[in-house]
A = this chain, B = another copy of it.
Amino acid sequence: MTGPAENYRITFLPADRKVTVPAGTNLLRAARQACLHINASCGGTGVCGKCRVLVEQGSVKDGISEKFSPDEVKKGIRQACTAIVTGDVTIRLQETAGLKSGQLGTEVPERHRAAMYVFDLAELREEGIFSPPVEKFFLELPRPDHNDRQADAGRLLRSLNEQYGERHILITLNMLRRLRRVLREDDFRVTATLARPVNSRFKSKLVHVQPGNWTTRNYGLAVDIGTTTIYGQLLDKQTGEILAEAGDYNRQLSYGEDVISRMIVAERPEGLRQMHDLVAESINRVILRLLKKKRIDQDELTSITLAGNTVMTHLVLELEPHNIRRTPYVPVSTLFPPIRATDLGLKVGDHCMALFYPAISSYVGGDIVAGVMGSGMYRTDKVSLYIDIGTNAEIVIGNREWLACAACSAGPAFEGGGILHGMRAAAGAIEDFSLDPVSLEPMNLTIGGKPAVGICGSGLLVITAALFECGALDQRGRFARNLDTARIREGRSGYEYVLVWEEEAGIDRDIVLTEVDVDNFIRAKGAIYAGVMTLLSEVGLGIADLEQVILAGAFGSYIDLDSAMAVGLLPEIAPEQFLYVGNGSLMGCRMSELSNHIRKDVIKTIQRMTGFELCEVPSYKDQYVAALFLPHTDSSLFPQARKRRQAMNLRAGDAAKNRQEPRE
């Protein structure tokens, strides 16, 4: 892996805003980071040609358009969206780019992102619990002779006990069948691999014996089995290092985007087998890619720790998910025994163990438990809120002493579902956005800088928030009908805002956000907010009691905190109390792969986790209805957002005044 990119300082004039960005960032993103707006409706692909800037000091790579005259190029005019940062540089924004709003100076609020939580390996070491669930031991056994005729198996066990204090070991028939040969292949020098029980009072299992010393080659995998994507990490269990990461789509996607459709397929004859085979194949592709990357043999993997929601876990294990979708929503199991990975069709050595994170209920799965572990929530004193936003938003509230959890069906809006131009976070998705409050011209930023083809979840949030903050959307999510812009218009299904004109888009029509989309978004965010509030009140707490908010999941990584609070998705909490854990599920899997002690903590943790069924809490419905506004019926719950809107309106007014002056 390459080291982190170097960072450079970008100074934007005339506002004199300074940001630090990694080499390779384009100037549009740098401006967005500096909370500066540059009109850029094509999404940053160099098509619209609106994002002209002047490089005053230093230089950038690329950014030259055929629309520029040689003079302009010589002067330092560049397209912000294609100009790449390669060193410290000073940039002057052009008047035409609506920079007046950017010029308004330091009172423009900073953007807030949650701080990244990094799982601390050194801590495990310090606590002496860095010992993986599957460990290797090198043994030099005494050779049998006339004074010592102990059987091969007994000889091995005796040495494990004498040399490492390992007792209570179960040997399987498969091990015994190979043992004689293996012991003698390198003259009774062998490496024994033990799979540990969660509870140390039970038996360890001898899963592998190899001739020679292989203790330095002990690899594991952490795998997050997502409904959409499978993520894997290849781990060196000796060092704890992540050697490689890879992700791939869950091939079940061809049978439907959500877990419900997968469950329906699983009920068909052979459907369960089919669903299992598809997800197993997807996992295998990730495994293969990881092993190839680091040239590690599949036989060198000794364990895989997996986590997924309860449905995905059932499908991987080929357990019937039928009653998960039927009242009273009962899974086959929430605890899963350690099994041979090959029994799941995984292409690894037959000694490799598959360890699954336990679930809490049908709707709070192993991925959430893994997140609670991976994020350290299970052992913090702080009262924390853990949110993983997807089609189902899972919410956990608590600390090291107690944990309450629930799932609420947010609907697929955050994954692009039910949104006219909604899409998953893929190349060409508008993922970030700002709005000129006066002209209502957009600054669209797409994933990969590709021509815009749609809007992904994080984009939807930022767009809705921006439109609402500048007054283009009202509290009920209706567009203002009286604004002087062609971008707000009446479309086929009501009013809409045009994000990208067809000629600048990667698709053959305008990319718009409709009032129906906004409605769907409001329902989604309302469900989540109501879930948080209901669960809080069930445990007798209020927002003020929360000392920490942990955001997890793919969506969580891109979440713009200010936008989320502006629309009422997240309660108003000081930004510094937010933590982002990334793929919490994967992080939890990694922890368990590296520390068997954590596996014991998992069991203790799930015993402390109380599941709530929100749909059965009477107040949930009221909470939900009250949250079907931007940001909420009771806007006093969002005082900061109100202040921001007021400031925004003021600034918009000033800007309009400024802009009008030259015209006069």
Q: What is the interface of chain A, defined by CB distance below 8 A to chain B?
A: 144-146, 148-155, 168, 170-173, 176-177, 179-181, 201-203, 317-320, 322-323, 327-337, 339, 343, 361-362, 611, 613, 616
| A611 CB contacts on chain B under 8 angstroms | 149
Interchain CB contact under 8 A, B152 and A333: yes
CB distance from A664 to the nearest CB of B (A): 69
- Given the interface contacts A154-B335, A173-B339, A343-B173, does A144 sit within 8 Å of B330 by beta carbon? yes
What 10 new A-B contacts, CB under 8 Å, besides A152-B323, A154-B333, A176-B337?
A: A145-B328, A146-B327, A149-B330, A152-B333, A153-B332, A172-B337, A173-B317, A173-B336, A176-B317, A181-B320
- Partner pick for A171 among B327, B333, B343, CB 8 A cutoff: B333
CA–CA, A148 and B613, complex, Å:
11
Partner of A177, one of B151, B318, B329: B318
**Which of A144, A153, A173, A616 has the largest count of B CB atoms less than 10 A from its CB?**
A173
Give the distance in Å from the alpha carbon of A564 to the alpha carbon of B75 in the complex: 120
Rounded to whole Å, the gap between the CB of A319 and the closest CB of chain B is: 5
Residue of B nearest to A178 (CB): B320
Asked if A153 and B317 make an inter-chain contact with CB atoms under 8 angstroms apart, the answer reads no
CB-based contact A319/B176 at 8 Å: yes
CA distance A152 to B332 in the complex (A): 5
A320 closest partner in B (C-beta): B180
B332–A179 CB distance below 8 A: yes
Given known contacts A176-B319, A317-B173, A331 and B151 CB-to-CB distance under 8 angstroms: yes
Measured between beta carbons, the chain B residues less than 8 angstroms from A173 are: 317, 336-337, 339, 343
Provide a sorted-by-A list of 22 A–B residue pairs whose CB atoms are within 8 angstroms. Answer: A146-B327, A146-B613, A149-B330, A149-B362, A152-B330, A153-B333, A153-B335, A170-B337, A171-B333, A172-B337, A173-B337, A173-B343, A176-B317, A176-B319, A176-B332, A176-B337, A177-B317, A177-B320, A180-B320, A180-B332, A201-B201, A202-B202
Instruction: Write out the residue numbers on chain B whose beta carbons fall within 8 Å of the beta carbon of A155.
Output: 330
Minimum C-beta distance from A206 to chain B (A): 10
- The minimal Cβ–Cβ distance linking A165 to chain B, given in whole angstroms, is 18
| Most B Cβ at <10 Å: residue of A172, A203, A323, A327 | A323
Minimum Cβ distance to chain B for residue A216 (Å) = 28
CA–CA, A181 and B201, complex, Å? 33
CB of A334 within 8 A of CB of B616, answer no
Which residues of chain B are near A332, meaning CB under 8 Å?
A: 151-153, 176, 179-180
Neighbouring B residues of A170 by C-beta, 8 Å? 337
Docked pose: A149 CA to B73 CA in angstroms: 69
Contact, CB under 8 Å: A333 / B151: yes
Chain B residues with CB under 8 Å of A149's CB are 328-330, 361-362, 611, 613
Contact of A146 among B152, B202, B616 (CB under 8 A): B616
Minimum Cβ distance to chain B for residue A336 (Å): 8
Write the chain B residue with the least CB distance to A155: B330
Q: Which of A150, A151, A328, A337 has the most CB of B within 10 A?
A: A151
